[in-house]
Amino acid sequence: MRTVLNLIWLLFGGIWLALAYLIVGIISCLLIVTIPVGVAFMRMARYVVWPFGKEVVRKPDAGAFSTVINVIWFILIGWVLALVHIVAALGQAITIIGLTNAVVSLKMIPVSCFPFGKRIVDSRF
């Protein structure tokens, strides 16, 4: 069932979100200072491309540095990513098939706002 849901997600918007995350991640890796940002974007692109069967968990060793970077991230780009996911969810919620995609898009908002100190793992279910 996860594969079917992931394919529906991919066809109805997931590919565009994943490509956007990947392109911004590659651009972010051009400067040495922004490589951690690029890595975060690429990690999120991998999550966005195939989200069903994945969950976001907090790293147990995440410390104050992750918090500081998350605050900077949110001020600079996190709130924009949240708006993108909200707009995508509204567009996907127009159809009955898209309702599950809209829920997943909204589920991605916390990790897109605060990606540092978290990791994406396979779901147990």
> Looking at the whole model, is its pTM more than 0.75?
yes
pLDDT, tens digit (0-9, with 9 covering 90-100), for 41-79: 898 898 889 888 888 888 888 788 888 988 988 998 889
List, in sequence order, the alpha helices (H) in 29-108: 35-49, 64-73, 79-92, 98-107
Domain edges within the chain:
2-122
End-to-end CA distance of the chain: 11
State the pLDDT at residue 26: 92
State the pLDDT at residue 82: 92
For the chain, what is the radius of gyration of the CA atoms? 14
Is the distance from CB of 55 to CB of 120 less than 8 angstroms?
Answer: yes
State the pLDDT at residue 125: 59
Map tokens 């127009």 to a residue: 94
Numbers of helices and strands, H then E, in the chain: 7, 2
